[in-house]
Amino acid sequence: MTSTTAMDRLRAAARDHRAYVEQWRVRHPGRPVVGVTPMNFPREIVLAAGALPVVIPDDQRPVGEGRAYLPEFYCGFTRNLADQAATGRLGHYDAILLADHCIQLLGASDVARALGARTPVFFGMLISSLSDSWAPARITEMMGQFRAEAERLTSAPVTDGALRAAIAAYNADRALLRQVFDARAAGDATWSPADLQDLVASALIMDPVEHHALLAEALAGIGPAARDDRVRVHLSGHLCHAPRRELLEVIEDCGAVVVDDDLWTGRRYVQSNVPLEEGGDPMEAIARWYAERNTRLPCPTRVQHDADWDSWLVDAVRRSGAEAVVHLMPKFCEPHMFLYPELRKALDAAGIPQLLVETEHEGIPLESFRTRLEALVERALRRRPAYA
């Protein structure tokens, strides 16, 4: 198998997760497939129970019947989840397990529960205030409930040994992905943002051992990046679902190169491993992963007094040498909208050019976006010494 074939398989899983699930079922008869929500759900627990945990993606289809179940001021991702539930597009999951990250997701889970009578739906309320003294106990309690729910769904115990193996598999896959992101930020590798999104999106769907093997094969033989004089851009936002690929493709058509990001289908997913020490308690390690991941890359859906997204973003821009920031804010994403003024203020104070793009589920006018991005690129170019 060539590296191109491996990349094709990763891309295929990222862009048609239902086909991958069908193929996986053929190879693993009798084992369930569980849909889980982005960002906060510990997939290691589901994998240790013998099931395949798939992070439910926005399948980017137009919202039709789902409009009857959620208000239009809900974000595109949650309205898409409601539409998937209303049209039976969640039927390939044997169960749906959710860990909250915003109030809109709670509404979408209610729709899935109401319309999917044959599909069990469990919604777990993870504590969002991580600085409080009682947070660790509450986190541990909810992780235990996730474990019990996985055991109930699969009728099999989740052993500590199976948990350690699942943690090791996901940690290894995230670590390899993180090497790709670090190399890109250092200028040692050039990947298109759409290709990188496919690498991460496939990791959110596939068995981690299979994904790691294909990823290693896809990366084999890739040499160092050639010198690239395009404007270096950091992408920020899209906390829980992927931006449309055509939007990503326009960015690099305008004389920019994406060198880093904090997207969910990007560095936000790969940044944190489960801190399991040899001989340690795997459930305690999973609880620590959730409690500490906000310090790795802060999220506005969590509250932690010693972790600020704005200061992290300025530091990330300086580390990668990015010359501008493009904010990709999904329409009606309340956590991002709430914190955006702080992000803008911090970048302005640091003298970093920036552009806010409000994205929509059905897409945005690409030519308008292209014009605005070309203006940002020109601003960044004028700041270079050669233009002084």
Higher pLDDT, 234 or 307: 234
**Which of these, 22, 88, 14, 87, lies nearest to 55 by C-alpha position?**
14
Q: 224's torsion region: left (phi>0), alpha (psi -120 to 50) or beta?
A: beta
Is residue 387 predicted with pLDDT exceeding 70? no
CB distance 236 to 357 below 8 Å: no
By three-state DSSP, how is residue 170 classified? helix
pLDDT band at 213 (very low <50, low <70, confident <90, very high): very high
How high is the pLDDT of residue 4? Answer: 62
At 271, the amino acid letter reads: Q
- Domain of 55, CATH number, reads 3.40.50.11900
How high is the pLDDT of residue 376? Answer: 97
Q: Which helix (H) or strand (E) holds 387?
A: none
% of the chain beyond a pLDDT of 90:
84
Is residue 243 predicted with pLDDT exceeding 70? yes
Tokens linked to 143: 């992780």
Question: Tens of pLDDT along 106-160?
Answer: 899 999 989 876 889 999 999 999 988 999 999 999 999 999 999 999 999 999 9
Alpha carbons 252 and 263: distance in angstroms, whole number = 17
By three-state DSSP, how is residue 231 classified? strand
The pTM assigned to this predicted structure is: 0.95
How high is the pLDDT of residue 3? Answer: 52
DSSP label of 303: B
Is residue 190 predicted with pLDDT exceeding 90? no
Q: Please state the rounded mean pLDDT for residues 309-328.
A: 97
CB distance 211 to 24 below 8 Å: no
How high is the pLDDT of residue 187? Answer: 87
DSSP label of 350: T
**Interhelix angle for 193-203 vs 160-186, to 10°?**
180
CB distance 203 to 177 below 8 Å: yes
Residue ranges making up the domain that contains 354: 1-388
Overall number of domains in the chain: 1
Of the ranges 299-303, 347-351, 365-369, the best mean pLDDT one = 347-351
CB distance 128 to 302 below 8 Å: yes
Alpha carbons 361 and 244: distance in angstroms, whole number = 8
Q: Calculate the CA 210 to chain-centre distance.
A: 19
Question: Tens of pLDDT along 248-298?
Answer: 999 989 999 999 999 999 999 999 999 999 999 999 999 999 999 999 999
How high is the pLDDT of residue 252? Answer: 87
Q: Please state the rounded mean pLDDT for residues 179-184.
A: 94
How high is the pLDDT of residue 386? Answer: 61
Question: Tens of pLDDT along 52-102?
Answer: 999 999 999 999 998 999 999 999 999 999 999 999 999 999 999 999 878
Distances (CA, A) of 329 to 135, 236, 340: 29, 8, 9
By three-state DSSP, how is residue 326 classified? strand
Placement of tokens 């326009």 in the chain? 250
How high is the pLDDT of residue 210? Answer: 98
**Which of these, 174, 143, 135, lies nearest to 48 by C-alpha position?**
143
Distances (CA, A) of 131 to 103, 127, 304: 20, 10, 5
Is residue 2 predicted with pLDDT exceeding 50? no
pLDDT band at 346 (very low <50, low <70, confident <90, very high): very high
Is residue 223 predicted with pLDDT exceeding 80? no
Tokens linked to 320: 């990668």
